[in-house]
Amino acid sequence: MTEDLALIEAAAREAGAEARRLKAAGLKTWAKDGGSPVTNADLAVDALLRTGLGEARPDYGWLSEETADDPARLDRRRLFVVDPIDGTVAFLKDKPWWTVCIAVVEDGQPVAACIHAPDLDETFVASRGGGAWRNGERIAAGDCAAIEDCRMLAAVKMFSHPAWPTPWPPMQVEARNSVAYRLCLVADGRFDAALALSSKCEWDLAAAELICAEAGAVVTDHRGRAFSYNRPNPQFPSLIAATPALHPLILERVRHIDLPD
C-alpha cells in the first residue's frame, strides 16, 4: 500500500491547492437535493481527483460524494472513496475546518488513507498496519476514561435534549464542520471523542476511520457495529469515535436510540 498512500497524498495536496485557487477566484454556489451547499470547487476537485487517480489506477472503482454513483464499483476489489471537500460550509465561510479526503478500500476495508486540511497546513495519513501520522509525526489517541470533562466533538444542543434517560455530565463540547477532521482530532489526542446521531456516508468515514484505528481509537456506529465499505447503500446511521476506555461509556448511553439503518 506504500505506493497507493504516496499517490493519494500527492493527489489530496494538489486538490487542496486547486480548491483554494478556485475560492480566491470567486466561488459559484448552489443547493443540492436536501439543501446542503455545493460549489464549483467541489465539482472541479472531484473531476481533478477522478481523472488523476483513475489514470493511475484504472482497475480501481470509484465512490465520491460529488460523482453519480456507478454500481460497477461493487464488482471491484479495490476502489477510491473520496470526499473532494468535506466541510463545504466551512470552506464557504472562511473557516479552516474543511478537508480533502481520500481512502483506498480493499475487500470492504480501508487500507490507505489521506485527509488533507489545506487552510490548517495539516495532512493526516495512515496505512493498514503502518500507523497514523500528521505532518510526518506519528499520532496516538488519548487515554481519557470518563465522560465527565472529556473533550467531545458533537452538536452541543444534542446533549441537553430532555429525552435522555440519564443526563449527560459536563463536557468540553466543540464543533468542527468536517466529519473527517473531527475523527483526526480524536486520532491525534486533541479531543477524546466525536459523536454524531445522524447519517454519515462512506466518503465521510473511510479515510478517517483508518487513521483513527491506526492511532488506537475505536470507531463504530451508535450500536457498536463496525463499518464496512463499498456497499450498495453507502450510508451509515451514526458515528462514535473515541478513546478505547471512553467508547463503551458513550455506547452505553446511546445504543438504545432507534435510528434508520
d(CA 159, CA 255): 15
Q: Domain containing 118: what range?
A: 2-138
Residue 12 lies in a domain: yes
Whether 35 has a pLDDT exceeding 90, the answer reads no
Same domain, 63 and 19: yes
221: Cβ contacts below 8 Å, ≥ 6 apart: 227, 236, 237, 238, 239, 240
Contact call for residues 98 and 176 (beta carbons, < 8 A) = no
Q: How confident is the model at residue 260 (pLDDT cuts 50, 70, 90)?
A: confident
Whether 75 has a pLDDT exceeding 90, the answer reads yes
Residues 176-194: what's their mean pLDDT? Answer: 98
Residue 51 maps to which CATH number? 3.30.540.10
Q: What pLDDT shows up at residue 230? A: 98
Structural domain ending residue among the three candidates 82, 104, 138 = 138
Residue 75 lies in a domain: yes
Q: Concatenated DSSP letters for 99-142?
A: EEEEEEEETTEEEEEEEEEGGGTEEEEEETTS-EEETTEE----
Nearest Cα residue to 68 out of 91, 89, 50: 50
Nearest Cα residue to 28 out of 92, 116, 105: 92
Same domain, 205 and 131: no
Q: How confident is the model at residue 199 (pLDDT cuts 50, 70, 90)?
A: very high
Of the chain, the end-to-end C-alpha distance in Å amounts to 32
Nearest Cα residue to 101 out of 93, 110, 109: 110
Residue 163 maps to which CATH number? 3.40.190.80
pLDDT digits (tens, 9 = 90+) for 200-234: 999 999 999 999 999 999 999 999 999 999 999 99
Identify the DSSP state of 170.
P
Residue 145 lies in a domain: no
Q: What pLDDT shows up at residue 162? A: 86
DSSP 3-state assignment of 242?
strand
Domain count across the chain:
2
Q: What pLDDT shows up at residue 163? A: 82
Same domain, 134 and 15: yes
Residue 246 lies in a domain: yes
Same domain, 131 and 197: no
Q: Concatenated DSSP letters for 200-225?
A: EEHHHHHHHHHHHHHHT-EEE-TTSP
Residues 156-164: what's their mean pLDDT? Answer: 91
Same domain, 163 and 106: no
pTM of the predicted protein model: 0.97
Identify the DSSP state of 248.
H
Q: Which three cell numbers stand for residue 93?
A: 465561510
Q: What pLDDT shows up at residue 229? A: 98
Mean pLDDT of the chain: 97
Same domain, 66 and 162: no
Residue type, 166: T
Whether 1 has a pLDDT exceeding 80, the answer reads no
Residue 260 lies in a domain: no
Same domain, 108 and 155: no
Same domain, 242 and 118: no
Cα–Cα distances in angstroms (integers) from residue 104 to residues 93, 167, 172, 227, in the given order? 30, 40, 33, 15
pLDDT digits (tens, 9 = 90+) for 142-151: 999 999 999 9
pLDDT digits (tens, 9 = 90+) for 78-113: 999 999 999 999 999 999 999 999 999 999 999 999
Q: What pLDDT shows up at residue 261? A: 81
